[in-house]
Structure 1
Amino acid sequence: MQFTINHRTHYLYTDVVNYTIQKLRLTPQDGFGQRVKRWEIRVNGHLQRHDDAYGNAEHLLVLDTPHEEINILATGEVETGLDTPPAHDLLPREIYLRTTALTATDATLRNFAEQFRYDRFTGQILDEMMHAIVDKVPYYRGVTNVNTPAAEAFRSGHGVCQDHAHIFIACCRYLGIPARYVSGYLFTDDGSLMESHAWADACLPSGWISFDVSNRCRTNGVHVRLATGLDYSDACPVSGMRVGGGLETMTVGVHVSQLQSQQ
């Protein structure tokens, strides 16, 4: 499948911002079944690209003159469903067993994960765990936020894609399975998803397998990968800091549309 993607982020401030620095993880890369045909980021500032520790293409955005708004537009075309392997792992897989503040377990979450402990883990076992997570924590907006830890979201009984990914990752790591957070895009026929999406990778003997927990499926040709990391904070599309600005209003719009294949 071929998609055109437009991801717009707009920041508006009630006062003048004197200085802004942001990390933009808004550039997909080839591999994991996808190929980037074209991609660009337009901003009202200076960009410098580098690869981060997880192999993500990351841009540093700097605005060093007074400003009251920031506009970021990432746009391009990506082809999916290809027979392209994952990019070479830059880090030992043991790194993805590390616990973070967002993926720590408590007694309740550990008891839940224990029912999926086996001598040999398979994709089917993790499929079962994925379904069980959404049964326990149905998709529901407004209860959690991007800084909600997995154990807290699990106790609340409500969450969104970031929570589902964090809970899945926390359980995997507790069971000794390396796992990582993935940010990206999801194409829906009705255009209902107008924001970025999140899912998880788990490392089994056969390699990395991707689980879209919120949608109870493994990733397929409708997913476009942007960045990976230990949790949301490593892979979120935009993060940073500013000096001044007063109150901030951020609006995000994502549009993913399918292109017809050229014969």
Structure 2
Amino acid sequence: MKLMVNHQTHYSYSAPVQSSIQYIKMIPSTNTHQRVHHWDISIPGQKGTQKDAFSNIWLTSSQREPYSQMTIMAQGLVEMNPDSQFGALNSLNPHLFLQPTASTLCNEEMKQFALSHVSALRHECLIRLARAVLDYIPYMPHTTSVNTSAIQAFSCRQGVCQDHSHVFIAMCKYLGLPARYVSGYLFVPQTMHLASHAWAEVFLQNAWYCFDVSNQLFTPNSHIYVAIGRDYWDVAPVRGVREKGGFESMNSIVQVLSC
């Protein structure tokens, strides 16, 4: 299956931005799970690319001229491997994904929740945990932010794919299982306009197993991988610093189409 992606992110500012540097992770790589036929990022400014510590492609854009609006456009064609049942492998030691982060810590209530739903460190038990997390934290857009931690999302009992992933990863790490955060895109038939997506993966029996808690999907057949990390902050699509600009507003739209 080939998937065509069109991802547009529009920024507006209440006052002119004098200069800025944007750090962008919106470029997928070819791996055992997918083949990138072509991909292009359109953004003003002087650009350069490198790879981060997790082998994600990292684009830097520097702008020195004042502006009040900016649009980042990512477009490309990715072919999925129909035989892929697991997440993409890389050369990183899986134990790297046992490292705690501020976004993926457990409190005592979360630890007891994990223990009550996982009787053994097996795939089917983790699926049971993923279902319990979604039951406990219903999908509720616009109720959390990128700064919401796993503990905060669990406490308020609402959130989105980022929160589901952080909570699930936090619990798996507590259970002693390497767990990573994946950003990318999800293809849903008969649905054109989506947001960029996030899901969790857990290392079991020398393979990375997909746990898309928000959609209750446990194989990555319809998932395009863009970046992996320990939490959202390792894979954030756009981060940056700017001089002036006042208040910032952002609007994003994603199309994922089969072709």
TM-score (norm 1): 0.93
Q: Is 2:118–2:129's contact at 8 Å kept on the other side of the alignment?
A: no
Q: Distance in 1 between matches of 2:13 and 2:163?
A: 28
Partner of 2:98: 97
Partner of 2:5: 5
Q: Show CA shifts across 1:74-96 (max 9, x none).
A: 10100113446865534322211
Q: Is 1:138–1:157's contact at 8 Å kept on the other side of the alignment?
A: yes
Q: Distance in 2 between matches of 1:3 and 1:89?
A: 23
Partner of 1:206: 206
The 10-residue stretch of structure 1 (190-199 or 54-63) with the greater mean CA deviation from structure 2: 190-199
The 10-residue stretch of structure 1 (76-85 or 52-61) with the greater mean CA deviation from structure 2: 76-85
Report the Cα offset of residue 192 of structure 1.
5.8
Secondary structure, counterpart of 2:255 in structure 1: strand
The 10-residue stretch of structure 1 (151-160 or 87-96) with the greater mean CA deviation from structure 2: 87-96
The 10-residue stretch of structure 1 (141-150 or 81-90) with the greater mean CA deviation from structure 2: 81-90
Q: Map 1:113-152; keep pairs closer than 5 Å.
A: 113-118=114-119, 121-152=121-152
Partner of 1:24: 24
Secondary structure, counterpart of 2:241 in structure 1: strand
Q: Distance in 1 between matches of 2:192 and 2:2?
A: 18
Q: Show CA shifts across 1:146-186 (max 9, x none).
A: 11111111111111100000011000000000011000101
Report the Cα offset of residue 116 of structure 1.
4.0
Amino acid at match of 1:137: I
Report the Cα offset of residue 220 of structure 1.
2.9
Q: Map 1:147-162; keep pairs closer than 5 Å.
A: 147-162=147-162
Secondary structure, counterpart of 1:172 in structure 2: helix
Amino acid at match of 2:218: R
C-alpha RMSD over aligned residues: 1.6
What runs of 5+ residues in structure 1 fail to find an aligned partner? none
Amino acid at match of 2:47: L
What is the number of residues matched between the two proteins?
258
Q: Is 1:2–1:78's contact at 8 Å kept on the other side of the alignment?
A: yes
Q: Map 1:38-187; keep pairs closer than 5 Å.
A: 38-83=38-83, 89-118=90-119, 121-187=121-187
TM-score (norm 2): 0.94
The 10-residue stretch of structure 1 (226-235 or 193-202) with the greater mean CA deviation from structure 2: 193-202
Secondary structure, counterpart of 1:130 in structure 2: helix
Identity %: 39
Q: Distance in 1 between matches of 2:148 and 2:81?
A: 33
Report the Cα offset of residue 212 of structure 1.
0.7
Secondary structure, counterpart of 1:9 in structure 2: strand
Secondary structure, counterpart of 2:129 in structure 1: helix
Q: Show CA shifts across 1:184-219 (max 9, x none).
A: 101112326521001011111231111111011113
